[in-house]
């Protein structure tokens, strides 16, 4: 899922300063699962904003609304009937959602309430961890199912750097060395010979370096 | 026991403090209360195992939100007491009342406009 962090209230207040009528838009997908931008978080932020505006004597009207996904136009269309009643949309979706809502409602400013951080997994309730950077050329088959691009701070492809110490990364003593994890896993799988194979220089053009990516599946198109 | 405690304390009953989430506390402040405290069971004695410990963490989190908003986290507290400690209940009610009185009235008192169609009514 896509994981994010709520922006500090101060930053949000700075963004919404010029506006009096605000549509606070949540998303029922990834940001709901990582407890940052779903219906519940929309409620909490709306409550914070109401308390703040009441304290400051500001007149701020907030409508809370959460849609199934902010990255699909059929759901974004659901707010069309009332979106014009509001001066601004404060989106609690990931960056993709914010941009797609902005794309669909060009006359309304769409502001981000969260900082989108990574593609990750839920380690336990309340703890999320990065696992994928969307590199475009997956090599997990060669690395025991552990991504060196994501799990190694330097995204090294052929073993750890000198900063690996007791299985931890020099960047942060709490962070596992990605390559230590890979070697341990390959050993467990009896595939340590994979580690001997030199991986060629990665073609980053399939990743962000190739510019914004697009996928088309012709048989799915209507 | 027929113990006295300040009449300004309004009780919202929940089956366990673990039921109290962030929004419930914030809604209480929106309704104009000057302070909120949770009276949970003693730590380690939760009937639902961790309800009071979860409530304790949530209280800490909401204290941060209240600081962010400018109300101050001191208006919210968590207390633990057993069902047999009526004396302690009255003592906490007095203690929290004094604390909130010292902080003064909530700066948002009676100013929150509720534009929503449905709202959760919290006694306060």
- Give the residue extent of every domain in chain B: 17-101
Report DSSP state, residue A78: G
Interface test with B, best of A42, A50, A62 (most B CBs within 10 A): A50
Q: What is the pLDDT of residue B111?
A: 57
pLDDT tens string B32-42: 999 999 999 99
| B68/A51 Cβ within 8 A | no
- The sign of the CA dihedral B15, B17, B18, B22 is positive
C-beta contacts of B95-101 below 8 A and 24+ residues apart: B96/B9, B96/B35, B96/B37, B97/B6, B97/B8, B97/B9, B99/B35, B99/B74, B100/B34, B100/B35, B100/B75
Q: What is the pLDDT of residue B120?
A: 38
Q: What is the pLDDT of residue A115?
A: 98
Distance in angstroms between the alpha carbons of the first and the last residue of chain B: 25
ipTM (interface predicted TM): 0.86
Domains with residue ranges and CATH for chain A: 2-118 (3.40.50.2300), 133-207 (no CATH)
Interface test with A, best of B25, B26, B103 (most A CBs within 10 A): B26
For chain B, 124 residues long, the average pLDDT of each consecutive 10-residue run is: 91 96 95 95 96 97 97 97 95 97 87 47 39
Structure-token pair, residue A62? 């907030």
| A10/B71 Cβ within 8 A | no
Q: Is B28 exposed, middle or buried (0-12, 13-18, 19+ CB in 10 A)?
A: buried
Sequential pLDDT tens for chain A (222 residues): 999 999 999 999 999 999 999 999 999 999 999 999 999 999 999 999 999 999 999 999 999 999 999 999 999 999 999 999 999 999 999 999 999 999 999 999 999 999 999 999 999 999 999 999 999 999 999 999 999 999 999 999 999 999 999 999 999 999 999 999 999 999 999 999 999 999 999 999 999 899 999 999 999 999
Distance from the B90 Cα atom to the nearest Cα atom in chain A, whole angstroms: 30
Distance in angstroms between the alpha carbons of the first and the last residue of chain A: 27
Note whether A64 contacts B: Cβ–Cβ < 8 A: yes
Q: A-chain residues within 8 Å CB-CB of B21?
A: 40
pTM: 0.91
Note whether A68 contacts B: Cβ–Cβ < 8 A: no
Q: A-chain residues within 8 Å CB-CB of B72?
A: none
Q: What is the pLDDT of residue B1?
A: 76
Alpha carbons A83 and A80: distance in angstroms, whole number: 5
Note whether A57 contacts B: Cβ–Cβ < 8 A: yes
Structure-token pair, residue A144? 């025991």
């Amino acid at each position: 899922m896509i994981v994010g962090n709520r922006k500090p209230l101060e930053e949000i207040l700075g963004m919404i300063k010029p506006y009096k009528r605000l549509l606070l838009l949540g998303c029922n997908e990834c940001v709901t699962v990582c407890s940052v931008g779903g219906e519940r978080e929309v409620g909490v932020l709306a409550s914070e904003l109401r308390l703040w505006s009441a304290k400051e004597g500001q007149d701020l009207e907030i409508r809370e609304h959460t849609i199934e996904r902010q990255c699909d136009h059929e759901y974004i269309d659901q707010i069309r009937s009332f979106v014009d009643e509001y001066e601004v949309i404060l989106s609690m979706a990931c960056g993709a959602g914010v941009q797609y809502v902005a794309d669909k409602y060009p006359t309304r400013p769409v502001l981000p309430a969260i900082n989108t951080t990574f593609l990750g997994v839920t380690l336990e309730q309340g703890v999320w961890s990065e696992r994928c950077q969307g590199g475009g050329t997956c090599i997990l088959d060669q690395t025991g199912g552990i991504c060196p691009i994501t799990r190694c701070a330097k995204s090294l492809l052929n073993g750890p750097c000198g900063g690996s110490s007791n299985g931890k990364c020099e960047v942060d003593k709490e962070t596992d060395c990605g390559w230590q994890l890979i070697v341990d896993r390959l050993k467990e799988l009896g595939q340590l010979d994979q580690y001997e194979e030199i991986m060629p220089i990665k073609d980053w053009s399939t990743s962000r370096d190739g510019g914004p990516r697009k996928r088309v599946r012709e048989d799915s198109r209507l | 026991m027929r113990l006295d405690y300040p009449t300004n304390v309004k009780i919202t009953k929940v089956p366990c403090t673990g039921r109290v989430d962030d929004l419930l506390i914030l809604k209480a402040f929106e309704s104009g209360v000057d302070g909120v405290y949770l009276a949970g069971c003693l730590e380690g004695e939760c009937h639902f195992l961790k309800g009071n410990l979860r409530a304790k963490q949530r209280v800490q989190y909401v204290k941060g939100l209240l600081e962010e908003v400018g109300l101050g986290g001191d208006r919210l507290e968590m207390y633990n007491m057993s069902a047999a400690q009526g004396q302690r209940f009255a003592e906490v009610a007095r203690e929290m009342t004094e604390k909130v009185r010292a902080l003064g009235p909530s700066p948002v008192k009676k100013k929150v406009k509720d534009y929503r169609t449905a709202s959760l009514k919290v006694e306060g």
